[in-house]
């Protein structure tokens, strides 16, 4: 697949910044929780913030984290992370956009540049996204997996900022 200049610009200026901002949606929740204790908040706001806004924002941040890793050519393969290149794309991924479509000549983000602790966080985010957000499953995520999410989101944010040439960083908050 080849993207034209307009499509590449759209990804660099709109789609990627939107996903990065959504990745950080959980930060909104945390800052709000620090600003006012749950007990002090009136009941009508609890319902709106907790069920209608914050929980979906948290879930979409995880799903978009997985999406951004996939964009970088990183995916889960069994019990580890794997990078894949354009020639490895399956029929199900043929219309997906990857780093090499936006920045021709770039390859998947090299896993050797991500330390093993950070790789564990990224692995856990993908696992949680698959189990808790993208699919309905019987098994729930472990406490350890959930504790990895904050670090994983920060790592993904940095990977995208550092690796994607031409990203409109002013569109990201």
Q: What is d(CA 169, CA 20) in angstroms, rounded to the nearest whole number?
A: 10
**Residue 58's pLDDT band (boundaries 50, 70, 90)?**
confident
Whether the predicted pLDDT of 73 surpasses 80: yes
Q: What is d(CA 52, CA 118) in angstroms, rounded to the nearest whole number?
A: 31
What pLDDT was estimated at residue 87? Answer: 73
Q: Which two tokens stand for residue 73?
A: 């050519």
What pLDDT was estimated at residue 146? Answer: 84
What pLDDT was estimated at residue 104? Answer: 93
- The length of the chain is 173
End-to-end distance of the chain based on CA atoms, in angstroms? 31
Q: Tell me the per-residue pLDDT of 91-150, one tens digit each, with 9 for 90 and over.
A: 667 788 999 999 999 999 999 999 999 999 999 999 999 887 666 667 778 888 888 998
Q: What is d(CA 62, CA 20) in angstroms, rounded to the nearest whole number?
A: 11
| Owning domain of residue 42 | 5-171
SS3 state of residue 49: helix
Number of domains the chain is built from: 1
Please, which residues bridge with residue 145 across strands?
A: none
pTM for the predicted model, two decimal places = 0.84
Q: Which two tokens stand for residue 86?
A: 């354009």
**Residue 51's pLDDT band (boundaries 50, 70, 90)?**
low
Mean pLDDT is highest, among 25-29, 30-34, 90-94, 116-120, for 116-120
What pLDDT was estimated at residue 12? Answer: 97
SS3 state of residue 57: helix
What pLDDT was estimated at residue 44? Answer: 52
Of 43, 93, 66, the C-alpha closest to 156 is: 66
**Residue 72's pLDDT band (boundaries 50, 70, 90)?**
very high
CB of 65 closer than 8 Å to CB of 153: yes
Q: What is the mean pLDDT of the chain?
A: 84
């Amino acid at each position: 697949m080849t993207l034209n200049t307009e499509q590449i610009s759209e990804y660099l200026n709109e789609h990627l910044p939107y996903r990065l901002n959504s990745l950080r949606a959980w930060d909104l929740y945390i800052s709000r929780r620090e600003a006012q204790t749950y007990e002090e908040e009136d009941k009508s706001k609890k319902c709106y913030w907790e069920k209608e806004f914050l929980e979906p924002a948290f879930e979409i941040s995880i799903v978009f984290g997985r999406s951004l890793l996939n964009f970088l050519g990183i995916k889960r393969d069994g019990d580890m992370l794997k990078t894949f290149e354009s020639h490895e794309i399956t029929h199900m991924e043929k219309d997906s956009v990857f780093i090499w479509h936006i920045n021709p000549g770039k390859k998947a983000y090299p896993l050797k540049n991500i330390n093993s602790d950070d790789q564990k966080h990224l692995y856990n985010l993908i696992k949680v996204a698959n189990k808790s957000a993208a699919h309905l499953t019987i098994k729930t995520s472990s406490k350890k997996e959930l504790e990895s999410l904050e670090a994983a989101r920060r790592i993904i944010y940095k990977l995208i900022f550092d690796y994607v040439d031409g990203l409109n960083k002013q569109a990201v908050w």
